[in-house]
């Protein structure tokens, strides 16, 4: 399995929980093998098997990826000192740290996916490959869209109405930046997710929180969570500052990184971030 390891000494370990777009063909088998009861509960809450429709909607993708991440954490022998999650992955990270009970977390994920799927039917996302974060911000401003994810050097994602994203594609050419439309049915991490915030906040308010066994970093602030209910709700409309969040883990002493979920999306981002840091 291709996981990122920055050094061979296992000093301070940080867990990384991926978000949407990290699904793999075999992740259902992993869940069935590691956490069969969680798979059954997920199917019960969603109303059908989400793994069969993971590419169709965020409503199915989110619970499927969350369960796969929990299966990865379950089979891991890592003893973490901190963790972070990319968007959806924050709920997995908080669960691993003992802040959320597993069933509470799964119910939140199922609701989150449903609310986000219903919040916006005319938005999407656009990946900008190459250029700087300043280029991405200028392109977003020119097209009237939002910088949704600052993932890594040369990898920024914009979010907004589909017509406006087409304008962003045109603007990107002026900056010699490649633009690639993403196959998502919603402008995630933008104001267009606004209708999902309050109902998700209300559901979060009903969930009892435990004390974290290690710090979990929030992708919207690039700092440890201080108000889980508020920060998880507002994360729906706030950009994911993943590059800064990863560097905050490094600055906090993380020397080894374990990506617990399906795929290697975060591992690849980590290599890009650390390469830029080394060359700075």
What CATH code is carried by the domain that includes residue 200? 3.40.366.10
Confirm whether 8 is domain-assigned: no
Say if residue 32 is in the same domain as residue 147.
Answer: no
In tens, the pLDDT along 140-150 reads: 999 999 999 99
pLDDT of residue 279: 65
In tens, the pLDDT along 179-221 reads: 999 988 899 999 999 999 999 999 999 999 999 999 999 999 9
Confirm whether 2 is domain-assigned: no
pLDDT of residue 7: 39
Q: Is 265 helix (H, G, I), strand (E, B) or coil?
A: helix
In tens, the pLDDT along 102-142 reads: 999 999 999 999 999 999 989 999 999 999 999 999 999 99
The larger pLDDT score, comparing residue 2 to residue 96, is at 96
170: domain CATH number? 3.30.70.250
pLDDT exceeds 80 at position 26: yes
The residue segments making up the domain with residue 58 are 13-119+189-279
Q: CB neighbours of 140 closer than 8 A, spacing ≥ 6?
A: 146, 147, 158, 160, 168
Say if residue 50 is in the same domain as residue 149.
Answer: no
Mean pLDDT, rounded, of the chain: 94
Say if residue 201 is in the same domain as residue 77.
Answer: yes
Confirm whether 195 is domain-assigned: yes
Give catalytic residue positions: 87, 189
E strands, the chain, are 13-17, 82-85, 123-129, 146-152, 155-161, 178-182, 216-218, 223-224, 256-259
pLDDT of residue 77: 87
* Contact between residue 260 and residue 80 where contact means Cβ atoms under 8 Å apart: no
Confirm whether 247 is domain-assigned: yes
Say if residue 240 is in the same domain as residue 147.
Answer: no
Q: Which of 86, 105, 83, 196 is nearest to 148 (CA)?
A: 86
Question: How many domains, the chain?
Answer: 2
Say if residue 107 is in the same domain as residue 226.
Answer: yes
Say if residue 85 is in the same domain as residue 216.
Answer: yes
Say if residue 81 is in the same domain as residue 136.
Answer: no
Terminal Cα distance for the chain, rounded = 29
Say if residue 38 is in the same domain as residue 165.
Answer: no
Say if residue 210 is in the same domain as residue 91.
Answer: yes
In tens, the pLDDT along 54-91 reads: 999 999 999 999 999 999 999 998 899 999 999 999 99
pLDDT of residue 176: 95
pLDDT of residue 183: 85
Say if residue 23 is in the same domain as residue 67.
Answer: yes
Distance between CA atoms of residues 223 and 245, nearest Å:
7
In tens, the pLDDT along 146-173 reads: 999 999 999 999 999 999 999 999 999 9
Say if residue 150 is in the same domain as residue 163.
Answer: yes
């Amino acid at each position: 399995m291709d996981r990122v390891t920055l050094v061979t000494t296992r000093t301070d370990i940080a867990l990384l929980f991926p978000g949407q777009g990290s699904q793999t063909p075999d992740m259902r088998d992993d869940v069935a093998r590691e956490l069969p009861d969680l798979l059954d509960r997920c199917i019960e809450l969603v109303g059908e098997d989400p793994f069969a429709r993971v590419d169709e909607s965020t409503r199915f993708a989110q619970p499927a990826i969350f369960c796969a991440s929990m299966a990865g954490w379950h089979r891991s022998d890592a003893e973490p000192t901190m963790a972070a999650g990319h968007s959806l992955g924050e709920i997995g990270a908080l669960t691993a740290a003992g802040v959320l009970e597993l069933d509470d977390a799964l119910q939140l994920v199922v609701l989150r996916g449903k609310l986000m799927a219903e919040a916006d039917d005319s938005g999407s996302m656009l990946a900008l490959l190459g250029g700087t974060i300043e280029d991405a911000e200028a392109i977003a401003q020119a097209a009237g869209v939002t910088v949704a994810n600052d993932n890594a050097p040369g990898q920024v994602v914009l979010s907004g109405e589909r017509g406006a994203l087409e304008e962003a594609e045109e603007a990107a050419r002026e900056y010699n930046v490649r633009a690639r439309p993403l196959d998502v049915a919603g402008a995630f991490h933008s104001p267009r997710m606004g209708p999902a915030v309050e109902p998700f906040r209300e559901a979060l308010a009903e969930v009892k929180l435990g004390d974290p066994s290690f710090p979990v970093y929030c992708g919207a602030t690039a700092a440890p969570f201080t108000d889980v209910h508020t920060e998880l709700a507002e994360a729906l409309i706030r950009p994911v500052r993943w590059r800064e969040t990863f560097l905050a883990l490094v600055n906090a002493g993380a020397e080894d990184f374990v990506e617990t979920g399906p795929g290697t999306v975060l591992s690849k981002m980590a290599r890009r971030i650390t390469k830029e840091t080394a060359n700075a």
